[in-house]
Amino acid sequence: MGLGGTRSDYTPPYEFLTKNPNFGRTRKHGEKTARIPNVLLVLISARIPNVPRPARRSSSILPCFLVVVLLTLIDESFSLVPNPMPLPPINDLTCIVTGSTSGIGREIARQLAESGAHVVMAVRNTKAANELIQKWQNEWSRMGLPLNIEVMELDLLSLDSVVRFAEAWNARLGPLHVLINNAGIFSIGEPQKFSKDGYEEHLQVNHLAPALLSVLLLPSLIRGSSSRIVNLNSVMHYVGFVDTEDMNVVSRKRKYTSLVGYSSSKLAHVVLKVFIV
């Protein structure tokens, strides 16, 4: 999402990827090889156009699931192809990355910091985040300047925590250039759970809390114009269904499963993006 821009001021990301198919690359850290999501460059610099949903819904979830698996395998195949596009210097940018102690979020936070950005790791486990920062600083010390990275506590299972985080950040009266809503959960096979705020956990962590965070940080994002909000999502939204009268899936019109909770929360966030843009 771009703030203050127009619909004609961007290059469609899908056209970019078509012309640059080698967008997945790998990078070695010691003995480990991690996938680097350079598609982040596209997301930061451009809005994603609306993706049309299928006109019909399959009567069975199996065909949809097989499509998701196929798309995932295709996507993973690109990660083996070298990419000549490193992140450019971004010393003047301030970025908040939620859920950045593991997975994609961790790699995003590290690469942004190594490229010069001021990175805020918005996480629930602050101890783990500080340990990561210490490790990265030690590895980066031989390069000269230290990484400009810090930790702030944020628990998306608590809307109060989201409000406290936003108030603390906005109180700095500084600009925010990029908000990356990366944190999410998929409690595979687990029974239905609710947050203390009364919402189904997938719905709150994957949709409601990031949406609230985005709205509350608008004052800082406006100061950082032209800023961006990046929402990491999942192709599983294609098998989701949003019932505005039964967001918690408690009416028994649909049987709750962890897949239903996850996919529906991801679809809800896609729909939110469409309305915001």
Both tokens of 171, joined, read 């109180």
DSSP string, 106-138: HHHHHHHHHTT-EEEEEES-HHHHHHHHHHHHH
* pLDDT at site 163: 97
Residue 264 pLDDT exceeds 80: yes
Query: Do 24 and 83 meet the contact criterion of CB atoms below 8 Å apart?
Result: yes
Both tokens of 125, joined, read 């486990």
Domain span at 195:
88-276
Least confident of 1-15, 121-135, 230-244, 245-259: 1-15
254: in domain: yes
191: in domain: yes
43: in domain: no
252 by Cβ neighbours in 10 Å (0-12 / 13-18 / 19+) ranks as exposed
| CATH code of the domain in which 235 resides | 3.40.50.720
232: in domain: yes
pLDDT higher at 180 or 13: 180
pLDDT, average across residues 114-118: 93
148: in domain: yes
Cross-strand bridge partners of residue 34: 27
d(CA 127, CA 130): 5
Which tens digits make up the pLDDT trace of 24-45? Answer: 333 333 333 333 333 333 333 3
107: in domain: yes
Both tokens of 132, joined, read 């990561």
3-state secondary structure of 194: strand
Counting the structural domains of the chain, the total is: 1
pLDDT band at 143 (very low <50, low <70, confident <90, very high): confident
pLDDT higher at 124 or 23: 124
Sign for the CA dihedral angle at 261, 1, 73, 32 comes to: negative
Q: Taking the mean position of all CA atoms in its chain, how far away is CA 133?
A: 20
Least confident of 8-17, 69-78, 127-136, 221-230: 8-17
Residue 234 pLDDT exceeds 90: no
The secondary element (H helix, E strand) that includes residue 181 is strand 178-181
Count of CB atoms situated within 10 Å of the CB of 57: 12
- The verdict on whether 14 is a catalytic residue reads no
pLDDT higher at 253 or 211: 211
DSSP string, 1-58: -BSS--TTSS--HHHHHHH----EEEEEETTEEEEEETHHHHHHHSPPPP-PPPSS--
Which tens digits make up the pLDDT trace of 145-164? Answer: 789 999 999 999 999 999 99
93: in domain: yes
Amino acid at 109: A
Angle at 77 between CA 72 and CA 82, to 5 degrees: 135
Percent residues over pLDDT 90 in the chain: 44
d(CA 209, CA 274): 17
Spot the catalytic one: 14, 199, 256, 262.
262
195: in domain: yes
Residues found in the chain: 277
Strands 24-29 and 118-123: unpaired
Q: What is the mean pLDDT of the chain?
A: 76
140 by Cβ neighbours in 10 Å (0-12 / 13-18 / 19+) ranks as middle
* pLDDT at site 37: 39
